[in-house]
């Protein structure tokens, strides 16, 4: 367009040169001055438009450089007529739209990833090449009982708040045992010595990666205690089913033969033979009762949850077992299998009564963060640490007549309701069982 206008002015100059010279030199001079002025104004206007679009592009690129992808250029009517300017503005707007869409997509993915990482119970810590924590999710903050982990030295953090982990600093993939409090925090970070502590299993993994050209280390701690308990319990169930099957196949004919032998002993009037068959029959009945007890663990069904007031359930058991109930409110609604929870309470209250029959045990109920916390405490001699580690194992019992099945059933009921059960010795004496159950 500009070239066409300049060519038109050039033709006017040539026409004036041919028509006005040499007869009208002054008129030619005026005509030439006018044409030169028009050409200068035309060039200046074109230069102004170019400067304007270049400035707009410069401002737009600076916005993109600053991370502002919401910028877009507008076209004037003259710029639309200029093909090159129109293509340049259109291309810039298309690039800005694409960058804006990609930034939005990255933001959404980053937001989703952040929510997933923070919602996970896997402790996630990212450390840079200076051994400084640059990322820690909520599980890590809860694990170390510290909400401001960013910027701290990883080595100092481990030595001060988790010294148990220092000895595993050279391991990239391992299963480790850590002492934890009942609320899931590192026991070393808790100054209160009266809080119950348990040993839990964790899977430790470390990964080396490069970010922005520098080495980083990603450390993950995954709690696997529940998974190990479930696997262990499933193994015990399979063993129990096999034992039950084999023993039942043997007990049935033995019991039948004993019954027939007792009848024959009575007919021939042989007291000694009668005592023998009676003793055998008694042991067979004991063995059958033993098998039935363990069958409860193998047959425990999926919880049929419904809402009920657990305080009423506990109060009904006070007629069978003597205990003091502490409940600050009249109703404690719990969504769970009432029959399984009742059997759980019977096992625990029965154990408490057996170890401290002279002094009533205590039961307290509290609600903390949408969870029901129940503590059953007896006033017996407590439990030794080595016994406490094996207390939930099937077949393990320190009682002469114990079957070792009660606490195993209790833990499976709690696990089926996505809760927690912990044993600890009370500082003032006696054993306390802490139950942590979700209300919904």
Give the N- to C-terminal CA distance of the chain in Å, as an integer.
76
Q: What residue spans define the domains of the chain?
A: 2-104, 120-223, 228-299, 306-438
Separation between Cα atoms, residue 380 and residue 356, nearest integer Å? 5
3-state secondary structure at position 428: coil
Closest CA relative to residue 328, chosen from 371, 366, 287? 366
**Ramachandran category for residue 430: left, alpha or beta (phi over 0 → left; psi -120 to 50 → alpha):** left
Per-residue model confidence (pLDDT) at position 365? 92
- Cα maximum dimension of the chain: 169
Give the strand order in the sheet containing 361-368. 323-326, 361-368, 371-377, 431-438, 420-425
Domain 306-438: which topology? Heat Shock Protein 90 (3.30.565)
Q: What is the pLDDT of residues 255-295, one digit of tens each?
A: 777 778 777 777 777 777 777 777 887 777 777 766 666 66
Q: What is the pLDDT of residues 62-107, one digit of tens each?
A: 888 888 888 888 877 766 767 777 888 888 888 888 988 888 888 8
Which range has the worst mean pLDDT, 108-122, 131-145, 187-201, 306-320? 187-201
Q: Which residues pair with 435 in a beta bridge?
A: 374, 421
Q: Is the peptide bond before 22 cis (omega within 30 degrees of 0)?
A: yes
Query: pLDDT over 90 for what percent of the chain?
Result: 11
In CATH, what number does 120-223 get?
A: 3.30.450.20
CB neighbours of 374 closer than 8 A, spacing ≥ 6? 310, 363, 364, 365, 434, 435, 437
Q: Which residues pair with 179 in a beta bridge?
A: 199
Separation between Cα atoms, residue 244 and residue 295, nearest integer Å? 7
pLDDT band at 124 (very low <50, low <70, confident <90, very high): very high
Q: How far is CA 182 from CA 100, 421, 422, 431, in A?
A: 47, 9, 7, 15
Q: What is the pLDDT of residues 180-231, one digit of tens each?
A: 665 555 555 544 444 455 677 888 899 998 888 889 999 998 888 777 777 7
Q: What is the pLDDT of residues 166-188, one digit of tens each?
A: 888 788 888 888 776 655 555 55
CB neighbours of 408 closer than 8 A, spacing ≥ 6? 233, 236, 297, 392, 393, 394
Per-residue model confidence (pLDDT) at position 404? 58
């Amino acid at each position: 367009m500009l070239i066409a206008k300049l060519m038109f002015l050039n033709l006017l100059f040539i026409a004036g040169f041919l028509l006005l010279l040499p007869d009208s030199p002054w008129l030619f001079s005026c005509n030439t001055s006018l044409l030169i002025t028009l050409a200068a104004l035309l060039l200046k206007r074109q230069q102004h438009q170019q400067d304007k679009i270049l400035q707009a592009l410069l401002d737009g690129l600076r916005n993109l450089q600053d991370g502002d992808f919401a910028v877009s250029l507008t076209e004037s009517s003259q710029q639309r007529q200029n093909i090159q300017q129109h293509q340049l503005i259109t291309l810039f707007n298309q690039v800005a739209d694409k960058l804006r869409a990609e930034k939005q997509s990255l933001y959404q993915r980053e937001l989703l990833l952040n929510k997933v990482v923070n919602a996970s119970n896997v402790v996630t810590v990212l450390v840079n090449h200076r051994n400084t924590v640059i990322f820690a999710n909520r599980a890590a903050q809860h694990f170390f009982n510290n909400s401001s982990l960013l910027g701290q030295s990883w080595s100092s953090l481990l030595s001060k708040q988790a010294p148990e982990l220092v000895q595993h600093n050279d391991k990239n993939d391992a299963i480790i045992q850590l002492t934890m409090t009942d609320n899931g925090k590192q026991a070393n970070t808790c100054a209160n010595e009266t809080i119950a502590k348990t040993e839990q299993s964790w899977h430790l993994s470390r990964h080396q990666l490069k970010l922005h050209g520098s080495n980083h280390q990603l450390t993950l701690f995954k709690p696997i205690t529940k998974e190990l308990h479930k696997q262990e319990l499933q193994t015990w169930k399979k063993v129990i089913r096999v034992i039950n099957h084999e023993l039942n196949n043997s007990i049935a004919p033995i019991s039948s033969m004993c019954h027939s032998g007792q009848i024959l002993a009575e007919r021939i009037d042989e007291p000694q033979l009668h005592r023998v068959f009676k003793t055998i029959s008694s042991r067979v009945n004991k063995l059958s009762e033993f098998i039935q007890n363990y069958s409860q663990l193998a047959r425990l069904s999926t919880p049929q949850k419904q809402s009920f007031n657990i305080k009423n359930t506990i109060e009904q058991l006070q007629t069978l077992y003597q205990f003091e109930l502490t409940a600050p409110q009249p109703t404690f609604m719990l969504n769970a299998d009432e029959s399984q929870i009742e059997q759980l309470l019977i096992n625990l209250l029965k154990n408490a009564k057996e170890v401290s029959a002279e002094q009533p045990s205590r039961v307290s109920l509290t609600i903390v963060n949408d969870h029901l916390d129940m503590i059953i405490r007896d006033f017996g001699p407590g439990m030794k640490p080595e016994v406490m580690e094996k207390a939930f194992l099937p077949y393990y019992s320190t009682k002469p007549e114990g079957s070792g099945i009660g606490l195993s059933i209790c833990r499976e009921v709690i696990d089926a309701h996505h809760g927690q059960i912990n044993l600890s010795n009370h500082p003032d004496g006696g054993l306390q069982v802490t139950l942590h159950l979700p209300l919904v």
